[in-house]
């Protein structure tokens, strides 16, 4: 015997290695899938007491901000992402990424909400997933502009 691997075994091992590489690369990619996008959630109706988070002068039209509110039930801090669509409309979302629960922020060059953990991007206009591994849109909170104040109404069970 000359110590060489028979061609059939060599072919089998090469094919197995290539298949493993493809599976690993596919699992790690942050590309979009062929599954349909999940639509953004509707804004819940304000209930309970709204919390003043900013003055209207601090968040101009088309502006984004990150604020903290206190959960009514738990008393814990909740991160909130804000987008002021126009003079009378402000949108609020949980800052928790729907992929693995990392904190989503506003500090991106692409003007989207962005999760630094695995690269998920969300549209600030409606919270839908624009890219990355996140499976669902951001959770929407009720928000309002009253006079010169921007209020967020966190979920009553939070």
| Of 114, 115, 120, 103, the residue nearest 38 (C-alpha) | 120
Token pair 């009720």 is at which residue?
A: 142
Would 107 be classed as within a structural domain?
A: yes
Q: CATH number of the domain that 94 lies in?
A: 2.102.10.10
Q: What is the pLDDT of residue 47?
A: 84
Q: Is residue 19 part of a domain?
A: no
Residue 88 lies in a domain: yes
Whole domain around residue 84: which residue ranges? 51-153
pTM value? 0.74
Positive or negative, the CA dihedral 12, 13, 19, 23 is: positive
Dig out the tokens for 152 from the structure.
């967020």
Q: Which two tokens stand for residue 40?
A: 């953004």
Domains held by the chain: number: 1
Lowest mean pLDDT among 17-31, 34-48, 49-63: 17-31
CA 69 – CA 86 distance, rounded (Å)? 22
Q: How confident is the model at residue 3 (pLDDT cuts 50, 70, 90)?
A: low
pLDDT at residue 88 above 70?
yes
Q: Average pLDDT over the chain, rounded to whole?
A: 81
* Residue 20 domain flag: no
| Position 54 pLDDT exceeds 90 | yes
DSSP H or E run through 113: strand 113-114
Average pLDDT over residues 75-100: 97
In a domain, 104, yes or no: yes
């Amino acid at each position: 015997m000359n110590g060489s691997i028979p061609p059939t075994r060599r072919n089998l091992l090469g094919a197995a290695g290539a298949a493993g590489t493809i599976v690993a690369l596919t699992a790690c990619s942050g590309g979009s899938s062929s599954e349909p996008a999940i639509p953004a959630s509707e804004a819940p109706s304000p209930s309970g007491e709204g919390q003043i988070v900013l003055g209207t002068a601090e968040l101009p039209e088309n502006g984004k901000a990150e604020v903290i509110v206190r959960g009514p039930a738990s008393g814990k801090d909740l991160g909130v992402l804000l987008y002021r669509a126009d003079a009378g409309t402000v949108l609020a979302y949980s800052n928790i990424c729907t992929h693995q629960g990392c904190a989503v922020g506003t500090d991106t060059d692409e003007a989207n909400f962005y999760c630094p953990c695995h690269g998920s991007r969300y549209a600030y206009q409606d919270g839908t997933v624009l890219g990355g591994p996140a499976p669902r849109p951001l959770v929407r909170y009720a928000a309002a502009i009253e006079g010169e104040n921007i209020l967020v109404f966190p979920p009553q069970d939070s």
